[in-house]
Amino acid sequence: MSAGVGVDLENLWIRFGDFVAVRDANVNINGGDFFSFLGPSGCGKTTILRAVSGFLEPSEGNVLIGGNNMKGIGPNKRPTALIFQNLALFPLMKVWENITFSMEIKGASSAERRKRADELLEMIALPDQGDKLPSELSGGQRQRVAIARALCAEPDVLLLDEPLSALDLKLRQHMRTELREIQKRVGITFIYITHDQGEALTMSDNIAVMRAGVIDQIADGKTIYNDPATAFAASFVGENNVFRGKIKRVMGNEALIATNRSGDLVARISTANQGKMKEGDDAMMFIRPEALAIAPDGATGDHFVTARVNHEEFEGNAFNIFTEGDGGKEIKVSLPNLGQSFEDHTGQIITLEYETRNAVLVPAGELAAE
Amino acid sequence: MPGFLKEFLNRNGTGMGLAILGLVLFWTIGLIILPQLSMLDFSFRPNLPPPEIGGPKDVYTLENYRYLVFGPEGGSQDYNTVDLRVFFRTLVAAVCVTIFNLILCYPIAYYLGQTKGNHIRIFAIMLIIPYWINEILRAFALRIIFGETGVLNTMLVGMGVWDTPFDFIRNDIALYAGLGYAYILLMIFPMYNVIESLDKNQIEAARDLGAPWWRIHWRVVIPYAKPGISSGCTMVFMLSAGALAAPQILGGPSSLWFTQLIYQQFNDNNDWPQGAAYAIVLLVTCILFVLAVMRLFKVNMGDIGK
A69: which residues sit within 8 A by CB, 6+ positions away?
A62, A63
- pLDDT for res A3: 67
Q: In whole angstroms, how far apart are CA B37 and each of A301, B28, B77, B254?
A: 102, 12, 32, 33
Distance, C-alpha A202 to centroid of its chain: 9
Residue in B205, B210, B215 nearest the CB of A88 = B205
* C-alpha Rg value of chain A to the nearest Å: 24
In this prediction the ipTM stands at 0.81
- Sign, CA torsion A293/A299/A305/A307: positive
Task: Compute the mean pLDDT over every residue in chain B, rounded to the nearest whole number.
Answer: 87
* Mutate: best of B208, B297, B299, partner A, most A CBs <10 A: B208
pLDDT per position as a tens digit, B81-115: 888 888 998 999 999 999 999 999 999 999 999 88
State whether A88 and B209 contact (CB < 8 Å): no
State whether A90 and B207 contact (CB < 8 Å): no
- Sign, CA torsion A240/A246/A251/A256: negative
Of residues A296 and A279, more confidence is placed in A279
Mean pLDDT of the region A104-118 = 93
CA distance A89 to chain B (A): 7
Residue in B199, B204, B223 nearest the CB of A55 = B204
Sketch out chain A's domains with CATH numbers.
Answer: 7-226 (3.40.50.300), 240-363 (2.40.50.100)
Q: Count of alpha carbons within 13 Å of A272, Cβ hemisphere only?
A: 17
B253: which residues sit within 8 A by CB, 6+ positions away?
B170
* Strands laid side by side in the A34-38 sheet: A80-83, A157-161, A189-194, A34-38, A206-211, A214-219
CA distance B216 to chain A (A): 10
Contacts of A157 in chain B (CB under 8 A): none
Contacts of A55 in chain B (CB under 8 A): 204, 207-208
CA atoms of B114 and B91, how far apart (whole Å): 33
- Sign, CA torsion B242/B246/B249/B252: negative
A183: which residues sit within 8 A by CB, 6+ positions away?
A34, A158, A190, A203
CA distance A88 to chain B (A): 5
Distance, C-alpha B146 to centroid of its chain: 23
In the predicted model, is pLDDT for residue A172 greater than 90?
A: no
Letter string b/e over residues B253-291, b meaning 16 or more CB atoms within 10 A of that residue's CB: eebbbbbbbbbebbeeeebbbbbbbbbbbbbebbeebbe
- pLDDT for res B68: 84
pLDDT per position as a tens digit, A311-354: 999 988 899 999 988 777 889 999 999 988 888 888 888 899 99
- pLDDT for res B81: 83
Residues of A with CB under 8 A from a CB of B: 53-55, 74-77, 80-82, 84-86, 88-93, 101-102, 104-106, 149-150, 153
State whether A102 and B209 contact (CB < 8 Å): yes
State whether B209 and A55 contact (CB < 8 Å): no
CA distance B202 to chain A (A): 5
Residue in B199, B210, B215 nearest the CB of A88 = B199
Q: Count of alpha carbons within 13 Å of A333, Cβ hemisphere only?
A: 25
Of residues A228 and B8, more confidence is placed in A228
Query: Which residue in chain A has the smallest CA separation from B222?
Result: A92
State whether A76 and B212 contact (CB < 8 Å): yes
In the predicted model, is pLDDT for residue A1 greater than 50?
A: no
Pick the most confident of A255-259, B7-11, B76-80. Answer: A255-259
CA distance A86 to chain B (A): 8
Q: In whole angstroms, how far apart are CA B82 and each of B72, B78, B93?
A: 12, 12, 16
Residue in B199, B209, B215 nearest the CB of A86 = B199
pLDDT per position as a tens digit, B52-75: 777 777 888 888 888 888 877 776
Contacts of B116 in chain A (CB under 8 A): none
State whether B204 and A81 contact (CB < 8 Å): no
- Sign, CA torsion A258/A260/A265/A266: negative
For Cα atoms A128, A155, A88, give the angle at the middle one, nearest 5 degrees: 60
CA distance A33 to chain B (A): 21
Domain coordinates of chain B in residue numbers? 71-304
* C-alpha Rg value of chain B to the nearest Å: 24
pLDDT band with cut points at 50, 70 and 90 for residue A282: very high
Q: What are the respective helix, strand and coil percentages of chain A, to the nearest 5?
A: 30, 35, 40
Element at A129 (helix H, strand E): none
pLDDT band with cut points at 50, 70 and 90 for residue A99: very high
Q: Using a pLDDT cut of 90, give the percent of chain A over it.
A: 69
CA atoms of A363 and A369, how far apart (whole Å): 18
pLDDT per position as a tens digit, A43-91: 999 999 999 999 999 999 999 999 999 999 999 999 999 999 899 999 9
CA atoms of B17 and B195, how far apart (whole Å): 36
Angle of helix B81-114 versus helix B184-196 axis, rounded to 10: 40
Which DSSP string corresponds to A39-70? --TTSSHHHHHHHHHTSS--SEEEEEETTEE-
Distance, C-alpha B259 to centroid of its chain: 12
Judge contact between A290 and A336, C-beta under 8 A. yes
Query: Which residue in chain B has the smallest CA separation from A80?
Result: B208
- pLDDT for res A54: 93
CA distance A22 to chain B (A): 21
Q: What are the respective helix, strand and coil percentages of chain B, to the nearest 5?
A: 75, 0, 25
- pLDDT for res B291: 92
Contacts of B220 in chain A (CB under 8 A): 90
State whether B206 and A53 contact (CB < 8 Å): no
Judge contact between A229 and A318, C-beta under 8 A. no
The fold adopted by the segment(s) B71-304 is MetI-like fold (1.10.3720)
E strands, A203-291, where?
206-211, 214-219, 241-251, 254-259, 263-269, 282-287
Contacts of A74 in chain B (CB under 8 A): 207
